[in-house]
């Protein structure tokens, strides 16, 4: 038995008495020893011990292994003891011998030399030695020993340093060796209990103290995520295992997932609920396993046995409150469903987050109709406890959504034009976002009409009359329309649902995770990462890569990306992700705009192609926490990929956009962009052609063709009557009479706005304004009428024609605001007129309706067809020719959907305020107009009305002409009039062009990635107006090409006014080099030759970025100044183009440009910033050990030693080599080249830190850095 247990059996009075004796003897002995009475002291001490303690010992020696007789060195102390085994036959032994052996230990130890030994033992043995306090036990046995514990160089061992005497050395070694056979395993303890104890140090400490009290030579210690149960032998090991099994338990219960996977949050909520209901829950371990069984969730409790039992009971009691149920909300108006999806998504997400539920809004299909009586539903999967609250909150949201339906409108009405005009598209989108009001346009059947401007073809005007002036094509989602782009896609562009191929480059949309794209079957060579300066695990994309690459990947990023600027692409290896490279763009540290992202992705594609990569994976950057609109991001990035594939690729053949599997909104946005842009490249070719060619060569020019769209016949009259609808002009139809509705009466000629013609109901106005126009030698009669009231007085007009013996008539468009209801009324009037004259021979037998707008002519023909084919007519009609084409929209319903009436009112007010109204424009002093004879004037006016729906009036006095109509139509009319006088204009212009053409650089236009040069006449106009703009920046908008195209020199854009086509413009000179976005330009400054300015950097992002770079080199930034030198910057960019080309050709993996440091004297700054670096000064600071040239360093500390001024420089390092001769220029040739020299020299080819350039244009001093070293 051990000393610990027996020491308890000594009577407390004995211990107290012994301690009192010891204290007294200490004092007396010290006094006597100071006088040299050592032996007498010992005798006296022995006598008192014999008198007080030995009688007790002799009375019961068999019950005690030791008795408390304390000592410490040569002084008596209270915590050491002398084993009683040494007191056999105590009464016959000399007290002096006893004290000589046990009392004067200090004196003995000084006489015996001390031994110090070190042993490296497994840490578990060291633990057990400590746990049972072996040193104390040995000392209790009378062995002089002390242990010191220390760490070992071996991970699984520790040192024990033993200090003892020679005579005890072997004995102690034997004791230590006996520990080598310790028992170390967890026995029957469950793995979970072991893990529980490993995470609760306070419990294991309590267990170990209890084992010491029970005199069990064993202990529990942590071993990584588990424990080690270590014991001196199997008996002691069995005891501790039994104790642990009795004290602790681990139990599990299975919760059925039913139809919904348990979200982690709800399980945590249940666990928190259980813990809150239990006492001492801080020592209870509750865990959940959501993955081991697909259909169940396992909750496990581990801890004290009683607490585990209570936890299991509590879980079963509370489980019913967290049961998953399905709730379906039906009969929700489809318009509200769509609004909910678009504008109240955050409310739904908030509910899902708050109540841990899944809310699925039923998908709106393309075939669905949008009416007030069309319904969809909402599926809710939630926990029983939240059901009522979720229903109440969703009902509140749905009931707060309001719907207002506008009257049926035509796509060519004021509101219709506004909704379809590409120039208004951005406004409509802005208004919808601003007022949170959704606009839904449907056809007369309720099918939604989607704006497909960007993917629609330019109207080819196959009939040859005139291109449709409607600027966009609207396509029914049912796909029944035939005027689509599908048949016009060139063979070079192929696409399916989730991918397309452009110029042999596959652009594909993939659901996956970016960190795994290198290891997939179709693994990519490059993956793109979005980072923040100084942190390579912030953001979902960066964190995903870090979780795979861990600290090794992070260290490489820190090393290679420390000098990365916000507009540069960083590159690291892809070995952790199964790819070749990882490209890093600093999107989180940028201004987080779509423009910035677009530029960096474009540069990534170019870089990958330059480096010979075959494939690249790009995540949907910006659509997550940054909050960019997924539709905008999808369209922009897909556009970048398409543009790159069309013109730039050599090696890159696969561009994959990676969407996280659960991010369905981003996937749909990118998918829509992919399918939309698949047809856009062909449309861009058409658009840029229209922009760069003069209007008189435009494919939409007027031709003398006419096309019959619809024909119906009625045989019930004595003479059969035909109704025909044409796409063309009135001059193209042979008929007895032509109705001219352009002759505004004196009353209406002075009216500024003519948008209420159709609502004018005075039939008498027709008879008041109708007149016959005498046209000599004409094959038809012309009847002029004021358009006001012509619909109401249509029968009056027909009666007048019959009275004059006319048999057939050509009728142009009667009103701009005409719609299906007006066509119905017109057909009813014709039929009523026929019924009244069935028995008469003198009846009009052919009504020819002619419309110049292609789509509008189809629209009116369709309305005619619908009306005549209906059963509402009284006469029997036969349709001889049906409308072969379907208009994209035949009658439109417009719904306003918002959360309140104020939003609807605001958007309607904005739409009305910005919708087209009739305007008046005067054309004065036009020489061509003076040549038109009065008898031919009606032909011009009627033709213009038929084509452009504008009214042209020439006053009796003077040559001025007034044009009435919508503004865009007026512009087209003016263009047409100018084209009629083109001979005069060409003669006048050609003289100026010939003189100017040789002095003007070539101008070009771009739509998307398609670029084309302007023809010489347009180039002349562009340059002439640009010269005006350069002198006066306030004049930035100009009209060219007979005012058919509008040029904005401030934004460098051109717009075809009639077609709404917009592109960018530029000059094929070095003026193409853009001014850096971060340059600070004052209003009165002009960026031109010689411009140079040094300005303080105020951008927090720039300061933060550069401060981070300097901090890595041990420097603190005080101030930054930016060098804005246009000449130096332009020469640098020109040089960069040359270096880039060489790198692409000879060494695609080389880095073209780096940001490096240059140290110099402060008095040199002015010269460098004004004139650039000068290699002739090479070596003045410290010699030219790498050859002559300008020196730059990757580390700021290196550069700052060469002067008191520090510059951060953009350097074209390109293809480099090591130095060959000191003090001489390096003339090495690029490998593979015949004569091109390397771009820089370095100190180390593998890890360069110093670069030397010999071309002064290869470095641009970007910043002056004021630092503290």
- DSSP structural state of residue 485: S
What's the confidence (pLDDT) of residue 560? 87
Can you give the pLDDT at residue 946?
75
pLDDT higher than 90, residue 1263: yes
| Distance (Å, whole) CA 453 – CA 455 | 6
pLDDT reported for residue 1209: 95
Q: Check residue 930 and give its pLDDT.
A: 66
**Choice among 72-76, 614-618, 1181-1185 with the minimum mean pLDDT:** 72-76
Q: Could you tell me if 1044 and 1057 are in contact, meaning their C-beta atoms sit under 8 angstroms apart?
A: yes
Nearest to 1013 by CA among 1059, 1069, 972: 1069
- pLDDT for 363-389, tens place per residue? 888 778 888 888 889 999 888 878 888
User: β-strand 157-165 against 114-122: which pairing, if any?
Assistant: antiparallel
**CB-based contacts of 655, cutoff 8 Å, min separation 6:** 505, 506, 507, 508, 605, 615, 616, 618, 641, 644, 645
DSSP state of 697: G
> How far apart are the C-alpha atoms of 923 and 1058, rounded to whole Å?
18
Listed range (131-135, 436-440, 459-463, 525-529) with the worst mean pLDDT: 459-463
Residue 1187 CA to residue 317 CA, distance in Å, equals 83
Q: How far is CA 969 from the centre of its chain?
A: 41
Comparing 7-16, 332-341, 643-652, 1045-1054, the range with the smallest average pLDDT is: 7-16
Judge contact between 643 and 605, C-beta under 8 A: no
Q: Taking 80 as the threshold, does the pLDDT of residue 608 lie above it? A: yes
Q: What is the reported pLDDT for 230?
A: 93
Q: How confident is the model at residue 110 (pLDDT cuts 50, 70, 90)?
A: very low
User: According to the model, what pLDDT value does residue 408 have?
Assistant: 60
CA distance 40 to 37: 6
Q: How far is CA 24 from CA 13, 19, 45, 644, in A?
A: 16, 9, 10, 99
CA distances from 844 to 721, 736, 805, 848, 1101 (A): 7, 10, 9, 11, 79
Q: What is the DSSP string of 1231-1268?
A: TT-SSPBPSEEES-SSS--EEEES-GGGEEEEEEEEEE
Q: Rounded to the nearest 10 degrees, what angle do helices 334-343 and 387-399 cross at?
A: 100
Indicate left, alpha or beta for 1129 from its phi (over 0: left) and psi (-120 to 50: alpha): alpha
What pLDDT, on the 0 to 100 scale, is given for residue 454? 32
How far lies 701's CA from each of 242, 460, 885, in Å? 100, 10, 22
Rounded average pLDDT over 1039-1060: 87
User: Average pLDDT for residues 724-730, to the nearest whole number?
Assistant: 86
- Predicted pLDDT of residue 244: 92
Q: How far is CA 682 from the centre of its chain?
A: 28
Q: What angle do CA 746, 749, 751 make, to 5 degrees?
A: 125
Residue 90 has pLDDT above 50, yes or no: no
CA distance 373 to 105: 106
Q: By C-alpha distance, which of 1205, 1208, 1210, 1193 is closest to 1267? A: 1205
Element (H, E) at 963: strand 961-966
pLDDT at 493 over 50: no
Half-sphere exposure of 176 (CA within 13 A, CB side): 22
Mean pLDDT of the chain: 77
Taking the C-alpha atoms of residue 793 and residue 686, their distance in angstroms, rounded to an integer, is 44
- Tokens 């213009």 correspond to 944
Q: What span, in angstroms and rounded, lies between the C-alpha atoms of 68 and 816?
A: 120
- In angstroms, the CA 1176 to CA 1255 distance is 11
Average pLDDT of the residues in 529-550: 88
How far apart are the two ends of the chain, measured CA to CA in Å?
A: 70
The set of long-range contacts for 389-395, using a CB threshold of 8 Å and a minimum separation of 24, is 389/355, 390/327, 390/351, 390/355, 390/357, 390/359, 391/327, 391/329, 393/351, 394/329, 394/351, 394/359
* Model pLDDT, residue 209: 92
- Judged by DSSP in three states, 76 sits in coil
**Model pLDDT for residues 393-449, shown as the tens digit of each residue:** 999 999 999 999 876 677 777 787 787 766 677 888 888 988 999 988 887 677 787
Residue 156: pLDDT band by 50, 70, 90 thresholds? Answer: confident
Summarised one tens digit per residue, pLDDT across range 974-995 is: 887 777 766 545 545 554 554 4
pLDDT recorded at residue 460: 31
Nearest by Cα to 140 from 22, 9, 4: 4
Is the pLDDT higher at 1208 or at 973?
1208
pLDDT at 533 over 70: yes
* 189-193, 525-529, 532-536: range with lowest mean pLDDT: 532-536
pTM of the model: 0.39
Whose CA is closest to 916, among 801, 1053, 753? Answer: 753
DSSP string, 187-254: TT--HHHHHHHHT-HHHHHHHHHHHHHTT--EEEEEETTEEEEEESSHHHHHHHHHHHHHHEEEEEEE
Asked whether residue 465 carries a pLDDT value surpassing 80, the answer given is no
Lowest mean pLDDT segment, chosen from 53-57, 289-293, 790-794: 53-57
**Which residues are 711's β-sheet partners?**
724, 881
Contact 428/437 with Cβ under 8 angstroms?
A: no
State yes or no: pLDDT of 46 exceeds 80. Answer: no
d(CA 762, CA 796): 11
For the CA atoms of 341, 342, 344, 350, the dihedral, rounded to the nearest 10 degrees, stands at 70
Range with the lowest mean pLDDT among 99-103, 704-708, 806-810?
A: 99-103
The two structure tokens encoding residue 870? 């209906």
- In this prediction, residue 35 has a pLDDT band, given cuts at 50, 70 and 90, of low
Residue 100 is classified by DSSP as I
Give percent above pLDDT 70 in the chain: 76
Residue 833 has a pLDDT of 84
So what's the pLDDT on residue 769? Answer: 82
Q: Give pLDDT, residue 885.
A: 59
The helix/strand/coil state of 516 is helix
Q: Which of 934, 948, 722, 972 is nearest to 852 (CA)?
A: 948
Handedness of CA 485, 489, 495, 500 (dihedral sign): negative
Tens digits of residue pLDDT in 1084-1102: 777 777 788 999 988 888 8
pLDDT tens per residue, range 685-724:
566 667 776 665 433 333 445 788 899 998 887 788 999 9
The pLDDT score that the predictor gives to residue 406 is: 75
Q: Decide if pLDDT at 588 tops 80.
A: yes
Give the pLDDT of residue 898.
94
Over residues 639-687, the pLDDT tens digits come to: 888 878 866 667 788 899 999 888 888 888 888 888 766 555 545 656 6
- Confirm if 711 and 724 have CB atoms less than 8 A apart: yes
Q: Which among 804, 814, 747 has a CA at the least distance from the CA of 771?
A: 804
How far out from the chain centre does Cα 1036 lie? Answer: 35
pLDDT at 115 over 50: yes
pLDDT in tens, 503-519: 678 888 888 888 887 77
Count of residues for the chain?
Answer: 1269
pLDDT of residue 908: 87
Dist. CA 635–CA 614, nearest whole Å:
23
Report pLDDT digits (tens) over 77-88.
333 344 433 333
CA 756 to CA 917: how far, in whole Å?
Answer: 11
CB 1195 within 8 A of CB 1232: no
Q: Is 919 exposed, middle or buried (0-12, 13-18, 19+ CB in 10 A)?
A: middle
Residue 62 has what pLDDT? 40
Specify the pLDDT at position 771: 82
Q: In which band, very low, low, confident or very high, does the pLDDT at 1038 lie, cut at 50, 70 and 90?
A: very high
Among residues 601, 620, 605, the alpha carbon closest in space to that of 658 is found at 620
Looking at residue 167, what is its pLDDT?
87
């Amino acid at each position: 038995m051990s000393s610990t247990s027996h020491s308890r059996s000594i009577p407390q009075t004995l211990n107290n008495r012994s301690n009192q004796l010891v204290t007294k003897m200490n004092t007396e002995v010290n006094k006597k020893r100071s006088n040299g009475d050592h032996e007498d002291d010992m005798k006296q001490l022995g006598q008192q011990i014999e008198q007080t303690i030995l009688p007790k010992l002799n009375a019961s020696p068999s019950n005690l292994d030791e008795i408390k007789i304390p000592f410490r060195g040569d002084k008596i102390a209270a915590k050491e003891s002398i084993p009683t085994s040494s007191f056999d036959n105590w009464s016959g032994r000399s007290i002096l011998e006893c004290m000589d052996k046990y009392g004067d230990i200090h004196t003995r130890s000084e006489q015996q030399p001390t031994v110090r030994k070190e042993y490296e033992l497994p840490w578990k043995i060291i633990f057990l030695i400590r746990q049972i306090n072996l040193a104390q036990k040995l000392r209790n046995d009378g062995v002089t020993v002390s242990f010191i514990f220390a760490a070992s160089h071996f991970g699984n061992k520790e040192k024990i340093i033993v200090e003892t005497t020679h005579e005890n050395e072997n004995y102690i070694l034997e004791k230590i060796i006996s520990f080598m056979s310790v028992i170390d395993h967890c026995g029957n303890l469950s793995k979970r209990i072991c893990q529980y104890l490993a995470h609760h140090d306070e419990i294991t400490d309590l267990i170990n103290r209890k084992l010491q009290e029970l005199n069990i030579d064993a202990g529990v210690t942590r071993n990584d995520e588990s424990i080690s149960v270590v014991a001196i032998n199997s008996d002691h090991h069995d005891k501790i295992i039994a104790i642990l099994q009795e004290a602790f338990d681990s139990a599990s219960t299975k919760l059925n997932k039913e139809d919904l996977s348990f979200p982690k949050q709800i399980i945590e909520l249940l666990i928190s609920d259980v813990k809150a209901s239990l006492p001492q829950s801080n020592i209870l371990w509750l865990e959940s396993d959501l993955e081991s069984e697909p259909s169940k969730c396992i909750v496990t409790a581990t801890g004290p046995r009683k607490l585990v039992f209570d936890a299991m009971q509590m879980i079963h009691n509370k489980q019913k409150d967290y049961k998953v149920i399905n709730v379906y909300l039906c009969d929700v108006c489809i318009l509200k469903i769509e609004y909910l999806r678009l504008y109240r998504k955050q409310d739904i997400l908030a509910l899902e987050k708050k109540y841990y539920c899944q809310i699925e809004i039923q998908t709106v299909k393309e075939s669905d109709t949008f009416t007030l009586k069309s319904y969809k539903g909402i599926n809710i999967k939630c926990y029983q406890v939240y059901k009522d609250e979720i229903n109440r909150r969703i009902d509140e949201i749905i009931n707060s959504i309001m719907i207002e339906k506008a009257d049926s409108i035509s796509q060519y009405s004021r509101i219709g034009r506004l909704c379809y005009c590409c120039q208004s598209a951005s406004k409509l989108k802005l208004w919808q976002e601003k007022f949170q009001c959704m606009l839904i346009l449907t056809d007369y059947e309720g099918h939604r009409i989607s704006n497909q401007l960007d993917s629609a073809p330019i109207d080819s005007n196959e009939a040859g009359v005139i291109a449709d002036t409607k600027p966009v094509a609207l396509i029914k989602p049912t796909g029944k329309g035939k005027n689509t782009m599908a048949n016009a896609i060139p063979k070079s562009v192929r696409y399916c649902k989730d991918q397309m191929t452009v110029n042999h480059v596959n652009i594909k949309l993939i659901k996956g995770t970016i960190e795994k794209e290198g290891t997939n079957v179709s693994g990519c060579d490059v993956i793109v990462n979005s980072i923040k300066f100084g942190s390579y695990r912030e953001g979902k994309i960066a964190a995903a890569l870090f979780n795979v690459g861990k600290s090794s990947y992070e260290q490489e990023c820190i090393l290679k990306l420390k000098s990365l600027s916000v507009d540069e692409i960083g590159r690291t290896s892809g070995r952790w992700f199964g790819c070749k490279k990882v490209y890093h763009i600093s999107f989180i540290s940028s201004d987080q705009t779509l423009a910035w992202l677009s530029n960096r992705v474009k540069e990534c594609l170019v870089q990958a192609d330059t480096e010979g990569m075959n494939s690249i994976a790009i995540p949907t950057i910006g659509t997550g926490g940054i909050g960019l609109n997924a539709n905008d991001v999808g369209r922009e990035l897909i556009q970048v990929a398409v543009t790159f594939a069309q013109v730039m690729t050599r090696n890159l053949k696969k561009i994959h956009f990676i969407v996280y599997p659960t991010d369905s909104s981003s996937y749909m946005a990118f998918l829509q962009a992919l399918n939309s842009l698949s047809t856009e490249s062909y449309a861009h070719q058409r658009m840029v052609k229209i922009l760069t060619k003069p209007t008189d060569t435009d494919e939409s020019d007027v031709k003398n063709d006419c096309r019959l769209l619809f024909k119906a016949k009625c045989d019930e009259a004595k003479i059969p009557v035909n109704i025909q609808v044409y796409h063309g002009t009135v001059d193209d139809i042979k008929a007895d009479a032509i109705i001219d509705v352009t002759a505004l009466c004196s009353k209406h000629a002075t009216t500024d706005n003519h948008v209420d013609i159709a609502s004018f109901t005075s039939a008498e106005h027709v008879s008041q304004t109708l007149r016959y126009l005498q046209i000599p030698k004409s094959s038809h009669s012309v009847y002029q009428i004021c358009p006001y009231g012509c619909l109401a007085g249509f029968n009056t007009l027909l009666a007048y024609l019959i009275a004059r013996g006319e048999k057939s008539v050509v009728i142009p468009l009667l009103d701009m605001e005409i719609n299906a209801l007006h066509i119905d009324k017109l057909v009813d009037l014709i039929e009523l007129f026929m019924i009244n004259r069935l028995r008469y021979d003198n009846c009009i037998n052919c009504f020819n309706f002619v419309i110049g707008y292609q789509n509008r002519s189809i629209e009116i023909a369709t309305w005619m067809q619908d009306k005549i084919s209906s059963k509402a007519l009284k006469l029997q009609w036969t349709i001889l020719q049906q409308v072969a084409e379907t208009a994209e929209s035949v009658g439109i319903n417009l719904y306003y959907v918002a959360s309140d009436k104020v939003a609807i009112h605001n958007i309607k007010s904005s739409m009305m305020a910005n919708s087209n109204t009739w305007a008046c424009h005067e054309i004065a002093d036009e020489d061509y107009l003076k040549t038109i004879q009065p008898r031919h004037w009606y032909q011009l006016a009627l033709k213009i009305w038929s084509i452009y729906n504008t009214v042209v009036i020439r006053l009796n006095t003077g040559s001025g002409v007034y044009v009435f109509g919508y503004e865009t139509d007026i512009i087209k009319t003016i263009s047409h009039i100018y084209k009629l006088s083109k001979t005069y204009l060409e003669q006048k212009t050609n003289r100026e062009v010939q003189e100017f053409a040789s002095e003007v650089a070539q101008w070009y236009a771009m739509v998307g990635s398609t670029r084309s040069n302007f023809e010489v006449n347009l180039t002349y106009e562009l340059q002439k107006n640009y010269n005006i703009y350069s002198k006066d920046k306030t004049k930035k908008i100009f009209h060219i090409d007979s005012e058919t195209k509008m040029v904005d020199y401030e934004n460098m854009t051109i717009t075809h006014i009639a077609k709404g086509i917009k592109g960018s413009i530029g000059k094929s000179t070095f003026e193409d080099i853009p001014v850096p976005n971060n340059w600070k330009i004052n209003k009165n400054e002009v960026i031109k030759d010689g411009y140079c300015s040094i300005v303080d950097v105020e951008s927090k992002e720039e300061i933060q970025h550069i401060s981070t770079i300097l901090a890595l080199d041990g420097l603190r930034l005080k101030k930054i100044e930016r060098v804005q030198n246009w000449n130096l910057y332009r020469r640098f960019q020109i040089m960069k183009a040359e270096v880039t080309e060489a790198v692409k050709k000879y060494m695609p993996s080389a880095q073209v440009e780096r940001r490096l440091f240059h140290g110099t004297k402060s008095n040199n700054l002015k010269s460098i910033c004004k004139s650039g670096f000068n290699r002739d000064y090479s070596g003045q600071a410290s010699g030219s050990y790498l050859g002559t040239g300008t020196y730059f360093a990757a580390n700021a500390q290196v550069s700052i030693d060469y002067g008191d001024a520090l510059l951060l420089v953009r350097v074209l390092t390109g293809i480099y080599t090591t130095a060959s001769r000191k003090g001489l220029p390096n003339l090495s040739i690029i490998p593979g080249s015949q004569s091109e020299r390397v771009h820089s020299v370095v100190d180390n080819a593998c890890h360069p830190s110093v670069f030397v350039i010999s071309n002064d244009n290869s470095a641009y001093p970007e910043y002056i850095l004021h630092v503290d070293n």
